[in-house]
C-alpha cells in the first residue's frame, strides 16, 4: 500500500492518525500542489477529483475519501477497533463522526478556503461566507461542550474515528481563529487527552 498525502490537509491527517492508531507504517508520497501533479492524467486516474488522500493498493487499485480509506483499513486491520465492535457502538461512532465532519470540520474548511489568500485564483471565493461558517462552527463547539459532559471521548468510552475527525477539525479551526473558549472545559479536557496520544503527531 501507498498513501498519496498532503501534510496540511485535514482529511489526509485523518488517515495518518488512523494509521498511527493502528500501528501501521506504509509508504507515503507527498503530493506537491505547486507542481500540478494532482491535475495530471496519471493522478486523476487515481482520484478523478484530483484530491488527497488516496490509498493505492498492491494491485494498483485506489481508494479516495478519508472515511472510505479508514473504513477499508478497519476491515483489513480490525485491531484496535476504531469504528466500534457491536452494532450499537458502530452506529453511535458513525453518528458522531458524521456530526464532527458535517457540523465542525466542513464549515471550518469552508471558512479557510473562502477566506485565506492562498486559495485566491484557485477556488471561487465568497468572503461573505466566512463569518457564516465561523458562526456555524462556534455553535457546534457549544453543543459539543454539552455532549462531552461526563465523557472521556466523543462517541464511546474509548477513542474512535469520531475523535480523529474532531481533532482535525479543531486544528483546522486554529487556522481560521475559531477555537474552544477557556470556559469550554469539557472540550479542553478532551483535547488534552487526545493530543497526548502518540498518534497526534502523525
**What pLDDT digit, counting tens, does each position of 12-56 carry?**
999 999 999 999 999 999 999 888 899 999 999 999 999 999 999
Helix (H, G, I), strand (E, B) or coil at 173: helix
Q: Put the strands of the sheet holding 62-64 in their side by side order.
A: 28-30, 2-5, 54-56, 62-64
Dump pLDDT digits (tens) for 171-183. Answer: 999 999 999 999 9
The model's pTM: 0.95
Give the pLDDT score at 122: 67
Q: Which residues of the chain have pLDDT under 70?
A: 119, 121-122
Helix (H) or strand (E) holding 4: strand 2-5
Q: Identify the structural domains of the chain with CATH numbers, from first to last.
A: 2-76 (3.40.30.10), 87-201 (1.20.1050.10)
Distance separating alpha carbons of residues 122 and 113, to the nearest angstrom: 9
CA distance 45 to 167: 30
Q: What is the pLDDT of residue 118?
A: 72
Round to whole Å and give the CA distance between 25 and 180.
32
Amino acid at each position: 500500500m501507498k498513501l498519496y498525502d498532503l501534510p496540511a490537509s485535514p482529511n489526509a491527517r485523518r488517515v495518518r492518525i488512523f494509521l498511527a492508531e493502528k500501528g501501521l507504517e506504509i509508504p507515503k508520497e507527498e503530493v506537491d500542489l505547486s507542481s500540478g501533479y494532482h491535475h495530471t492524467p496519471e493522478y486523476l486516474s487515481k482520484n478523478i477529483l484530483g484530491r488527497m488522500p488516496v490509498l493505492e493498493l498492491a494491485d494498483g487499485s485506489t481508494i479516495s475519501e478519508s472515511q472510505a480509506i479508514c473504513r477499508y483499513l478497519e476491515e483489513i486491520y480490525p485491531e484496535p477497533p476504531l469504528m466500534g465492535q457491536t452494532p450499537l457502538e458502530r452506529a453511535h461512532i458513525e453518528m458522531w463522526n458524521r456530526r464532527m465532519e458535517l457540523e465542525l470540520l466542513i464549515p471550518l474548511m469552508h471558512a479557510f478556503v473562502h477566506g485565506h489568500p492562498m486559495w485566491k485564483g484557485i477556488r471561487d471565493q465568497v468572503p461573505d461566507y466566512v463569518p457564516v461558517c465561523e458562526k456555524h462552527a462556534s455553535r457546534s463547539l457549544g453543543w459539543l461542550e454539552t455532549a462531552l459532559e461526563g465523557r472521556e471521548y466523543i462517541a464511546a468510552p474509548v477513542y474512535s474515528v469520531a475523535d480523529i475527525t474532531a481533532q482535525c477539525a479543531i486544528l483546522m479551526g486554529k487556522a481560521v481563529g475559531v477555537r474552544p473558549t477557556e470556559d469550554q472545559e469539557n472540550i479542553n479536557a478532551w483535547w488534552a487527552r487526545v493530543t497526548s496520544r502518540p498518534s497526534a503527531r502523525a
